[in-house]
Structure 1
């Protein structure tokens, strides 16, 4: 069978799924093999033993298929040939005997895995046999006039195989069912076809050449298995060369990108910690200019060897990100554990001797490092990389030879940085003064709302900074929209509206060009997403949208409704509140909507009392 379930009974949902499969499979076995032990002759038992032995041998010679390394054995060709020649009850006896032998050979493995695999085989064999008989298939020699019966039986066998295993991954690991099934078929279609043809070959050999035919088939199948093993070995060797940086032997940037995406997905499903560290050799250019590029390359290799040694007994994935920059992807490490590891690594490098290290300002080899811990509301790998990159930038700015964790500045440092960031963003917004004054005023109002809401939500300093600055800069992409469209008095055409919608993407790209404002990109890009998934640009839904981005959507919409605009009537505060409630659950997060409404109503009451 293809892709045996090696994970056994891992999760609660997996328990239930496996239990149902076992009930169905074992039930079919009992129904169709009833009294078979008494009906078979000694000659038939000899054939059962021989066919079971062949199935066991082919299972032992299981090979892997590129690119994912999925396991495949050719034992299914034995079971299909048994269906075509000997019938269902005979085939089930072959399956039972081969399963018992494999259980004995793999005694240390879980019994549940063997029972589950046995049940899946029973379902596939019984279904294929039923289709074969229903379409006029006759047990015995291969009949070309009944070719559709053979093809249909084999198709049902492998469709069930794919569905049963694919649905297991869907239930247990919550993987997309369509993509899982598509990946399985893409990876193994050639091997499926090979097995189908071999089952027909074995049918012919068994009927006409008996044991000699079975022996020839085994020789052929073992050679094919060996060839596939060699192919997979060659594939892995080539893959290893592609994924490794030739100078340092570390993983490449492209491999890091792939691994980061996989680890983020795994962390999101399992809830385990994940951190990313980025390091950069301090004053590398000075060393390179002084000693030349060959010596500089030697320093890069020296650090790479140190990284390999220090991470040898861990599951940390070390990659060369580019030039003198490296990344350490750290599954299972939270921010504190990652910082402790990186500090130890930094001290180790400081005390490592290398020719010419005395020219460095620190008087020793040193690197700066930035650490970012994965959070569930980080949707894109680029966000986590940006967080680590910003932390690295901050470490450099503080004097180098430091490890900085994203968001861990002192309160005073954060306040100073926040004030400077507000001034920097306001300088950018001043460009709206001549192009669209209303957008400038709108951004300032949304910023003030965000400041109040951040206090109401008791946000930590980092979240407050991101939320309020994100509110201030959220419409920066409108600078790219032509003046005529931005200030049009009439209703926008469909083409013009599509251009306006691009402002979130343009704004994100503008933010990503500045190291300090990369972490504001989600607020710019996602403030037009809707709670029901009908927003843009991605159509994120519910909790897929970061919580503070959902709040920014409410603030942005409220200010747009209560401010005079050329393309829509202005609403009073009360009318806007009614509109917010009407759209809660569709456009807006219901919980955050009520929180904002309570804030705005309290603000109105306080304003009225002050006026009196």
Structure 2
């Protein structure tokens, strides 16, 4: 829609340029008639140079007027400067027309129609009000010339005739201005329909992306941060299924109204899609956007929605993801992706919470050699691809990282081991990039062939990070996180303490999350059921000491983990 509007404005400028150039041409004809006409040929041949200089002066003046117009149609100036330029331009045109009329007979001149050009162009460009003002000024000039030039006659016939021209001026500006106003209103309605979500009254997904690109360009130019909030209504499908889409739509409209009330004038609030909303916050740093995000979360949580008491958490709430440019992202695409990642983290961990984007690999970049930065960035891209292929992987990885942080503290690991465990937890499934979606998302048990393919992801993961010398210390975690304590795991059937210690920790954490999450092939267990399963397999599949400590971690942090 914006491109169509720009194309339309370009066409209008082209038409106006033709009208203005035509008016300048007529003015030039009038001026040249004065200098070269038979009645005004007062210069003999020796005065040819004077005539030539006069002609050049006239052409330079007309060229200057055209130059003023050309600058006025560019987008290099703000609204205030544009108005000043257009006022100067209109004044220059009126001055030229006055000179042309005066030197071609004044009140008897046949060039009084020249003012129609500037009336038409002003009305088209600036609307009825400016068009009428220009028409009135032009009328006053013509009638004044008539009164002065024809004052010696008993009946000023030219004045009476020019009253008709004045009427034409007014009637040109008035209906044309009215048409321009109607068309502008119609276009605004079309733009509004194209940019605004019909249900909530917020901006829609398309406008959000267009506006974000514009805001990003301005943010880079002014070296100012720009923040983004993406939020999702918790258990909204449950609410819709329980009360119907009509009630769901009412909830969406209510939340849209709340967001408009909370948002600042410079913020752009949009319905991102379905039950998701987004806000672009220009010139807003991390601390400020977190405060705003938390305010939104609390406002929605404390607002009553009909039937919310029957939702799983007893309230209609939202999860909020936040990211900031340029601290957390380097482009508009990265800003959206990082805010979306933060939203997923908020959804996976307890819901009804605000999460700021953090990346394990961004932390990792601080600990590796400069020459390997690009490779780590590529690994981050691979993990994003895996997340897109396997809808269960993203939440699984994030949760395993959280569990690993908690368990690392419980086991009093040193800083190097803590980092290795956390980074390994983040990348332990990277080898799944080579596994097809059909196998990753299969709802039935895998057959032997499929199972053998899936088991290769540990070895594949090691091969992927092998080129990064700074990451080789993570290879044991990636390679051995599916080994069993009794030696029946894969890929090397290691047993007991033959399995690297950090890999044994990761095995417990990884398995626990697999048991307590929605997976294609099994029903999710509760935390209590998951702990019982770990204890049941303690000494066979898992290191018993690690199971004991991890069980304590889960019970101590159950409330904050959200299950």
Instruction: Using structure 2 for the length normalisation, give the TM-score.
Output: 0.45
- When Rg is computed on C-alpha atoms for both structures, the one with the higher figure is 2
